[in-house]
Amino acid sequence: MVRRAVVKGVGHYLPERIVPNAEFEKTLDTTDEWIKARSGIERRHLAAPGETTSQLATQAALAALEMAGLEGSAVDAIVLATSTADMTFPSAATMVQNAIGNTTGYAFDVQAVCAGFVYALANANALIASGQADSVLVIGAETFSRIMDWTDRSTCVLFGDGAGALVLGVEDGSGENTDRGILATDLNSDGRYKDLLYVDGGVATQNTGMLRMEGKEVFRHAVEKLAQTADTALEKVGLGADDVDWVVPHQANIRIIQSTAKKLGVGMDRVVVTVQDHGNTSAASIPLALSVGVANGQIKKGDLVVTEAIGGGLAWGAVVLRW
């Protein structure tokens, strides 16, 4: 028997303000058609003034806990993926811990930009598999609107704010790929590509900075590396594209999603797509899409799900789990 990290609940939260593409036509040399054609994005949610990443994360966490039938005090650990924490320190995860009434567990942030939730899931899985936790709240939450250059039409139209969360619990498995829970993970990074996607500020420069991106190069790396990491994760447990019920990719760009699915050999009818409604919410995009997929009746118990993401670093990875 092996300890498996099994999804017990899922939830998400989106800020109230919805910004359609047409709103950018007032301030930028762009159009709704231009944005949709190049990204697939139609609208995104933006946090209200004073609304923080930890607040979004808390709402998503509470929704996931409710589905799991757990109180916040019952969670052993909280792993929060974000690049836009409220403060330099303490971690946003500890702020969520306090907000949900947890005083006996432990909480920490993971920073791998858009790949953050995949990294967080892998860490949470390791905590459960090693016996260091029986229940882990895994969250992806971002307020990327705070690091946007609103004069740069190539980036500011792509991103949005939001949060998603999963509650992982422990179940005994046989060790076979028919088990429920997380079956395989694959994590990668390569710091040589730092300048393709970064924020030009931070503690060392004493300013927050703004997001900068070499879009064409990021696109090229994304398709190649996302397909590779998903294949690698599936191969670790003797599975292939034909075994996959749903791919839930990082929601960055519809063309990246379509190209990666084609390279994987998975039809778009087996891909959960939310980028049109949320834009790129970085570490929040996968848990948001998982929650929407469950709410829409797409993802069901027993389905084999593959998630994959790539972000600044470059950092990328995939997780294979049976729902």
DSSP string of 188-240, one letter each residue:
EE-GGGGGGEEES-BGGGTB---EEE-HHHHHHHHHHHHHHHHHHHHHHTT--
Active-site hit among 102, 125, 253, 280: 280
Tokens of 6: 């099994």
Active-site hit among 21, 45, 114, 125: 114
Strand partners, 107: 78
φ and ψ of 223, to 5 deg:
-60, -45
**Angle at which helices 285-295 and 116-129 pack, to 10 degrees?**
80
Active-site hit among 45, 221, 250, 278: 250
Select from 140, 158, 150 the least CA-distant residue to 53.
140
Rounded Cα gap, residues 235 and 227, in angstroms: 12
280 noted as active-site residue: yes
Cis-peptide, bond into residue 321, ω within 30° of zero: no
Tokens of 294: 């469950």
Strand partners, 188: 316
Rounded Cα gap, residues 257 and 146, in angstroms: 25
Rounded Cα gap, residues 161 and 210, in angstroms: 15
114 noted as active-site residue: yes
Task: Please give the sequence-ordered ranges of beta strands (E in DSSP) within 14-160, or none if there are none.
Answer: 17-20, 43-46, 77-81, 106-110, 135-143
- Which letter does DSSP use for residue 48 in this model? P
Q: CA quadruple 228, 243, 123, 201: dihedral positive or negative?
A: positive
155-to-24, 149, 185, 197, 220 alpha-carbon distances in Å: 12, 8, 30, 11, 17
Catalytically annotated residues: 114, 250, 280
